Structure 1
Amino acid sequence: MKYKSFDFDVKSVDDAGVFVGYGSVFGNVDGGGDVVVKGAFGASLAARSAKGRKLPILWQHRSGEPMGVYEDIKEDDHGLLMTGRLLVNDVQRAREAHALMKAGAVTGMSIGYGVVDDLLDTKTHVRYLKTLDLYETSIVTFPMNDEARVGVVKSLDLILKDGKLPTLREFEDFLCEAGFSRTQAKAVAGNGLTKLLDRCEADGNTSDALKMLDSFRIPQ
């Protein structure tokens, strides 16, 4: 699962726990070098609607802490407009989140999603996210830098595939989603992962590299 976070207008939070905000915006290049294309969520929203399943509101992407549901989700010209309802009368965490949102202490929404279809511009290195599978949308403390700063601790095991080391691009993407600029990510990946791969290839052993990367953490 990947994450993207955005600021939302805390004035839209009412006393009943209903709030409105954008879980994603279209057309801008975010801190991870990605652009979400208008219509990217259409198929996922249609499939969820056909099954009669509502999207959960989570706290900081913690699957064990649902706080409510999104009553209405639609794509407009700006992005993914979402109306959520916190279960303030029944869930303690929802009451806490509601108070923090109204006070302006928590001002972010962050989507958890999978990439179904994308296109990489090899000249600009911008990736266009054409079709996304929306899993959940969380209330988070830190929105993604002005529009792209991850507010959760992430582990590189999200991009380790079948016990294989990530590509340089995958490692760069991971670092960008954790809050690094694209330039910083390229520098870290080029100087860190490349040397690690070269050393392990010379030793004929990649298991140590996998262990090191799997334990890699980016703190909040």
Structure 2
Amino acid sequence: MRIKSCPVQVKAAGAHEGTEDGVFEAIVAAYNTDSVGDRITPGAFAETLAEWKGRGNPIPVLWSHMSHDPDYHIGEVLEAEERPEGLWVRARIDLDAPKAAQVYRLLKGRRVTQFSFAYDVSEGSWVDQKDGESYYELRRLKLYEVGPTLIGANQATELLDVKSGDRSLRLALEGAAPAEAAAIRTAVEAALGAKAGRALSAKNETTLKSARDALRKAADDIDNVLSVVSGDEEETEDEDEKSATGAPPSTPSAQPAPKGAEPAGPHPASRRLRTDLALLDAEVSLLTDEEK
């Protein structure tokens, strides 16, 4: 499951709007290219909205995707439809719940001005533009929930009314800093372009190799951290077992590795990252060989 959050603008708030307390309207997803290079296409939500309607269940409204805490399930979507500017929702916040009521006050006071939604990509693809920046087109999405959040990414999403006013590599980049993600994305796009017949510049080749090296170092760091965590857990389990049987705790001592023993391999959690690195390494080597 992924999340996408967007700054919004409060258009109206107050009892003068003439609707019940706790109801708001918002465009929670805009049809434009956002700051991470995604563009939602009109119709991307059509199938998932039909599925929600067919089940007869309301789309949940959560504060900042906090699905693990029932107190932050703050309301439900009353209506949802795709409009020319994006996904529009009309929702009600549960004012009887203290935290939900506080979120509503934050919306009314313009202290929270962003919305977000959780989703999975059912269909999407990179779009290469010769006269502009490439982007990832989100063509069909599965929607899980929407709601207000403190930090967003899309500069075009807008809160209309607070009524009654009281590729796999790309997945890895989503956790990177914007500058890092942009550099790696540029390099990968250049690599893909070279594979299609365009030349790979020395600058982009260097950037791609630097990105690969950074990812490889990240994999090593993951192994180190997971090894320490696994070792601590095993030691704790041993001590707990001895305590239960009345045996004295063991004194830690360094045990030399048996002669000829193989070093421990990478933790399973980093194997996929290492596989991606191997593929990226092969791509760089192929492109470099082609240039030569």
What TM-score range do you get, normalising by the shorter chain? 0.7 to 0.9
- Residue type of the partner of 2:86? G
- What's the secondary structure of 2:111's corresponding residue? coil
Aligned-partner Cα distance in 2 for 1:46–1:193: 40
What number of residue pairs does the alignment pair up? 189
Runs (4+) of structure 1 exceeding 6 A deviation are none
Question: 5 Å matches for 1:1-220?
Answer: 1-14=1-14, 16-26=21-31, 28-63=32-67, 64=69, 65-88=72-95, 90-121=96-127, 125-144=134-153, 146=155, 167-175=168-176, 180=179, 182-184=181-183, 186=185, 189-196=211-218, 205-207=265-267, 210=270
More helix by share: 2
- Residue type of the partner of 1:210? S
User: 1:11, 1:102 within 8 Å by CA — same for their partners in 2?
Assistant: no
Structure 2, unpaired ranges of 5+:
16-20, 158-166, 186-206, 224-262, 274-292
More strand by share: 1
Aligned-partner Cα distance in 2 for 1:94–1:9: 20
The alpha carbon displacement at 1:209 in A equals 6.8
User: 1:168, 1:190 within 8 Å by CA — same for their partners in 2?
Assistant: no
Distance 1:46 1:134, change over 3 A: same
TM-score, normalised to structure 1's length? 0.74
- Cα deviation code 1:104-142 (max 9, x no counterpart): 111111010011111123565521111000000021012
User: 2:59, 2:76 within 8 Å by CA — same for their partners in 1?
Assistant: yes
Distance 1:95 1:197, change over 3 A: closer
- What's the secondary structure of 1:30's corresponding residue? coil
Two-structure CA RMSD over aligned residues (Å): 3.1
The alpha carbon displacement at 1:143 in A equals 1.9
User: 1:5, 1:110 within 8 Å by CA — same for their partners in 2?
Assistant: yes
Aligned-partner Cα distance in 2 for 1:121–1:95: 42
TM-score, normalised to structure 2's length? 0.57
- Residue type of the partner of 1:81? W
- Quick check: which has more Rg, 1 or 2? 2
Structure 1, unpaired ranges of 5+:
149-165, 214-220
